[in-house]
Amino acid sequence: MRRKKKEQFGGVRVVSVVDDPTPPKKIYDPKHPDAGTDGYVEYPNVDVMKEMVEMITASRAYEANVTVLNSTKSMALKTLDIGKG
């Protein structure tokens, strides 16, 4: 018996990777072991609040898309049931 190949969906493709031009956060702490000669420590330029908002937005968009797909599937099945009667 031959198995059918699973259907492949579009998926996600990376078009390009771009460096963020935002400069790192500099905090004056001359006693820190990573401090430069000027006494400043460079921390990543990640804004935690912005990243959380973007993560929640992506999660809600995903949930909305799943709801749409489930509704479409339900309507298609109900349409098939009409034809049976």
pLDDT digits (tens, 9 = 90+) for 21-64: 889 999 999 999 999 999 999 999 888 999 999 999 999 999 99
Residue 69 structure tokens: 């797909």
**Where would I find the H helices in 22-47?**
none
Instruction: Give yes or no for a contact between 61 and 44, defined as CB atoms under 8 angstroms apart.
Output: no
pLDDT, position 5: 62
Q: Specify the pairing of strand 25-28 against strand 40-43.
A: antiparallel
Q: Residue 40 has what pLDDT?
A: 96
| pTM exceeds 0.75 | no
Residues in Cβ contact with 35 at an 8 Å cutoff, skipping those fewer than 6 apart: 29, 41
For residue 27, which amino acid is it?
Answer: I
Place of tokens 């973007």: 54
What is the model's pLDDT at position 71?
Answer: 94
pLDDT exceeds cutoff 60 at 1 = no
